[in-house]
Amino acid sequence: MLENLGLFGLFLACLLSATIIPFSSEAIVAAAMYIGYPVWVIVLVASLGNTVGGMISFYMGWLCKWEWLERWFKVKREKIERFRKHIDKYGEWAALLTWLPIVGDPLAIAMGFMRLNPLWTCIIMFAGKLLRYFVSSYLLGLTNWF
């Protein structure tokens, strides 16, 4: 299926994996690498898609009411509140950690709920996700960078 959708499929899969939909984008990234796309293209597209997904979570926190988050998205208020002290301490820099499994999505939602600067949050989030995919590619021993 990824072959049919190409890089758009990679972008979309990485976007969805960065929202509250629980699945990992690493398998899709590995498939894209197997297909033969240059690694730098895969890293860039995956980072962009994952950042857009993270910003969707951010704006869910910005725009949604607690009742909506709890009822429709199954995000517990207690989980978001736990991040408050860390976000108060680190501000937008906490966005570097939104790529982490389990805590990344609630962290992005909490940052939106706390109304952090969207531009800086997006830039820092992108940097963290870019680093994630770069390191993943390196650890997989990928050499097809161009």
Closest CA to 48 of 133, 146, 107: 133
Separation between Cα atoms, residue 1 and residue 120, nearest integer Å: 35
User: How much is the pLDDT for 143?
Assistant: 62
What are the residue ranges in the chain where pLDDT is below 50? Answer: none
The CB density around residue 78, as the number of other CB atoms within 10 Å, is 7
Do residues 25 and 50 make contact, with C-beta atoms less than 8 angstroms apart? yes
Predicted TM-score (pTM) of this structure: 0.87
User: How much is the pLDDT for 122?
Assistant: 98
Separation between Cα atoms, residue 12 and residue 50, nearest integer Å: 9
User: How much is the pLDDT for 3?
Assistant: 61
